[in-house]
Chains A and B, each alone.
Chain A
Amino acid sequence: MTDNTNTPGTFKASGVDIRGLHKSYGDNEVLRGIDLEVKPGEVVCLIGPSGSGKSTLLRCVNLLEQPNAGTIHVGGFDATDLDVNLDKMRQKVGMVFQQFNLFPHLTVMQNCTVAQTKVLKRPAAKARAVASTNLGRVGLGDFGDRFPDQLSGGQQQRVAIARALSMDPTLMLFDEPTSALDPETVGEVLAIMRSLAKAGMTMLVVTHEMSFAKEVADRVIFMDGGVVVEQGPAKDVIGNPQQPRTQDFLKRVLDPTHVEIAE
């Protein structure tokens, strides 16, 4: 296994294999049988209306939600096996949240080192070096001594990405990473994600940014009502959707000023 921490150009990537995934909250079935394979280094964007189950699917991949049925394999781990070491698995799966979820009582640097030292047992100096590399990668190399509440939303989300990268993940999950941002800071976060995609990171991204999906995703998956309705290369699914539900959704998202309210 090669160490990739000091070579910002490339990543050791792993894939995801999801089969027959079901998830319910009480009587509400949110995921109704999802099959999804993501190859190492592939960038897959999940799009769809709110409530379609795309965030739940993403959160199932690192078991923040417990699926009711189905299997998930992530980088050699069987995530749905009750005997799996979830903590070990999660070390390899970076997660970026809509609300950033930075640790407010820790500095930017400590946010990026705390799991390295406490979980991976890296020496403090090594952890700081790794954190510096990743903070530099997201353009915040000079911000290590700040606290999260001293940063803009876009900067906080970039720190969250650096924090996840500092664990040397082989897969990154993004749960609507730009939805809570001021419009003018969306671009800086998307730029970082674009560079990660170029560097070969496996990425599973729930997003409403259609132009980003079109440009960066190898594959776009449209979900609605807990199932995959349509999937394929970004230019096909977004540029020339085949299913009526996909067409309807994209019309609403891409041209929201001309949506007609049905009787």
Chain B
Amino acid sequence: MAMTTRQRARLSKLIQIVVFFGVILAVVLQVDWKVLSEQFFAFDKLGPIFPDLLTIGLKNTVYYTAISFAFGLTLGLLLALMKMATFAPYRWFATGFIEFFRGIPAILVLITFGYGVPTAFPGTSWPQPVIVMVSLGLVSAAYIAETLRAGLQAVPKGQIEAARSLGMPAWRAMVTIVIPQAFKIVLPPLTNEIILLTKDSSLAFILGATAAQYEMTKFGRDGIASLGAGITPLIVAGALYLVITIPLSLIARKFESRSARTKR
């Protein structure tokens, strides 16, 4: 029997509703709520993890992210400028660096600096924050370099020509005309990079650390073993990551809509 367009739309909507709530109902009926609440949501047993999870863990997560980003941004800017250099070996080096560190897992870099380097060069032992900063900084620098290069090159060539025509030296045109415009372009992707770094800072849990150096994932993982609350500590740590990353996402989106509005 042929259906009208309206009938077909109604049927389609009905099917979507049935599937959506059907799946939810099936999950609700299948789950063993008692086990779930003991293993996932045993918040009452979390007492011992506070306030250290916040005062040490959250603080260290933010701290590791911040120093890694600062190092990555500095190195990334240097690499971006090298990639645009007229002297070819600079470009080769930057390209090699970027492809290498974008292509390998961050955890390998962390293991290399955390365990490999001290083994290969006995006597060298960096404090954990330095290992994290160098490892994650190197990796994020590769991504940031590409972001910054794209941003600088996205500023139209006519802007530089206009600036130079007014008698500005090349560096002045870069500082006063190009970089402020590129900055607006790269703010959203740089904010995303901070979000990625925030999550990657959790990799520090594989390093041996003193209690004062624990970040949130380490707290969560140790909490699984010691508290008898199932994976509840990890759930709480995960929620705290969201507390950091969701506002960053909102900020990035705000930058995006603002730069879209001021676009010519």
Q: Which A residues are CB-close (under 8 A) to B177? A: 103, 114
Q: Which of A88, A95, A103 counts the most B-chain CB atoms under 10 A from its CB?
A: A103
Q: A163 and B166: CB pair below 8 A?
A: yes
Q: Which residue of B lies closest to A115 (CB)?
A: B166
Q: Which A residues are CB-close (under 8 A) to B168? A: 87, 115, 118-119
CA distance A94 to B165 in the complex (A): 7
- Bin the interface of chain A by size: 20 to 34
B residues 219-264 in Cβ contact with A at 8 Å: 262-264
Q: Which B residues are CB-close (under 8 A) to A148? A: 264
Q: Which residue of A lies closest to B180 (CB)?
A: A105
Q: Which residue of B lies closest to A148 (CB)?
A: B264
Q: A118 and B172: CB pair below 8 A?
A: yes
Q: Which of B156, B165, B177, B180 counts the most A-chain CB atoms under 10 A from its CB?
A: B165
Q: Which A residues are CB-close (under 8 A) to B164? A: 64, 87, 90
- B176 at interface, CB cutoff 8 A: yes
CA distance A97 to B166 in the complex (A): 12
In this complex, how many residues of chain B approach chain A with their Cβ under 8 Å: the count is: 21
- A130 at interface, CB cutoff 8 A: no
Q: Which B residues are CB-close (under 8 A) to A231? A: none
Q: Which of B162, B180, B262 counts the most A-chain CB atoms under 10 A from its CB?
A: B162
Q: Which A residues are CB-close (under 8 A) to B165? A: 62, 64, 90, 93-95, 164
Give chain B nearest CB distance to A106 CB in angstroms: 9
CA distance A94 to B167 in the complex (A): 9
- A207 at interface, CB cutoff 8 A: no
Q: B181 and A104: CB pair below 8 A?
A: yes
Q: Which B residues are CB-close (under 8 A) to A149? A: 262-264
Give chain B nearest CB distance to A77 CB in angstroms: 12
Give chain A nearest CB distance to B74 CB in angstroms: 24
- A133 at interface, CB cutoff 8 A: no
Q: Which of A90, A105, A160 contacts B167 (CB 8 A)?
A: A90
Q: Which of A103, A115, A167 contacts B159 (CB 8 A)?
A: A103
Give chain B nearest CB distance to A134 CB in angstroms: 13
B residues 157-181 in Cβ contact with A at 8 Å: 158-159, 161-169, 172, 176-177, 180-181
- A147 at interface, CB cutoff 8 A: yes
Q: Which A residues are CB-close (under 8 A) to B263? A: 149
Give chain A nearest CB distance to B79 CB in angstroms: 25
- A80 at interface, CB cutoff 8 A: no
Known: A103-B177, A104-B264, A105-B184. A119 touches B167 (CB 8 A): yes
Q: A87 and B167: CB pair below 8 A?
A: yes
Q: Which of A87, A103, A119 contacts B162 (CB 8 A)?
A: A103
Q: Which B residues are CB-close (under 8 A) to A97? A: 158, 161-162
Show 19 A/B contacts (Cβ-Cβ < 8 Å), sorted by A. A64-B161, A64-B165, A87-B168, A87-B169, A90-B165, A91-B166, A91-B167, A94-B165, A101-B156, A103-B162, A103-B177, A104-B262, A105-B181, A105-B262, A114-B177, A147-B262, A149-B262, A149-B263, A167-B166
Q: Which positions in B face A, CB cutoff 8 Å?
A: 156, 158-159, 161-169, 172, 176-177, 180-181, 184, 262-264
Q: Which positions in A face B, CB cutoff 8 Å?
A: 62, 64, 87-88, 90-91, 93-95, 97, 99, 101-105, 114-115, 118-120, 147-149, 160, 163-164, 167
Besides A93-B165, A167-B167, 15 more A-B contacts (Cβ < 8 Å) are A87-B164, A95-B162, A101-B161, A103-B177, A104-B264, A114-B177, A115-B167, A115-B168, A118-B168, A118-B176, A119-B166, A119-B167, A119-B168, A119-B172, A149-B264
